[in-house]
Structure 1
Amino acid sequence: MRSKKSILILFVFFAIANLQAQVNFKPGLRGGLSLSTISEMHADYRPDFYFGGFGEINLTKKYALQPEITYVKQGSNNVARNYYDPVTDTDQVAYQDLRLDYLSLSMINKFTFGQGFQVLFGPSLDVRLSDNLVRRKNYNDFAFNVGLGYRMPSGLAFDFRLKKGFLDILDSDYYTNDSNNHYLFGDYNTNINFQIGISYSFKTK
Structure 2
Amino acid sequence: MYKSKLAIAVFIFFAFAKVQAQVSFKPGLRGGLSLSTISEMHADYRPDFYIGGFGEINLTKRYALQPEINYNRQGSNNVARNYTDPITGTENVAHQDLKLDYLSFSIINKFTFGPGFQIQFGPALDVLVHDNLALRKENNDLAFVTGIGYHMPSGLAFEFRFKKGFFDVLDSDYYHNNTNSHYFFGDYNTNINFQIGISYSFETK
Question: In which range does the TM-score fall when normalised by the shorter chain?
Answer: over 0.9
Q: Flag structure 1 segments of 5+ consecutive residues without an equivalent.
A: none
Larger deviation, residues 107-116 vs 10-19: 10-19
- Normalised TM-score (structure 2): 0.95
**TM-superposed deviation, 1:181:** 6.4
Provide the rounded CA distance (Å) in 1 between the counterparts of 2:204 and 2:160: 26
TM-score (structure 1 length as normaliser): 0.95
Bigger shift: residues 74-83 or 171-180: 171-180
Q: Percent identity?
A: 74
Deviations 1:4-44 (A, max 9, x none): 22122111111111111000000000000000000011111
Q: 2:182 & 2:35 partners in 1: Cα distance?
A: 22
CA distance in 1, matches of 2:115, 2:183: 41
Match for 1:42: what amino acid?
H
- AA aligned opposite 1:50: Y
Distance 2:135 2:186 in 1: 16
Task: List aligned pairs for 1:1-150, cutoff 5 A.
Answer: 1-150=1-150
Query: Contact between 1:120 and 1:146, CA under 8 Å: does it hold in 2?
Result: yes
Q: Which runs of 5+ in 2 are unaligned?
A: none
TM-superposed deviation, 1:183: 5.6
Secondary structure (helix, strand or coil) at the match of 2:179 reads coil
Cα distance between partner residues in 2 of 1:178 and 1:12: 66
**How many correspondences in the alignment?**
205
CA-based RMSD = 1.5
4+ residue segments displaced more than 6 Å: none
State whether residues 42 and 177 of structure 1, in contact with CA within 8 Å, keep that contact through their aligned partners in structure 2.
Answer: no
1:123 and 1:145 in contact (8 A); partners too: yes
Q: Determine the C-alpha separation between the residues in 1 that align with 2:97 and 2:59.
A: 43
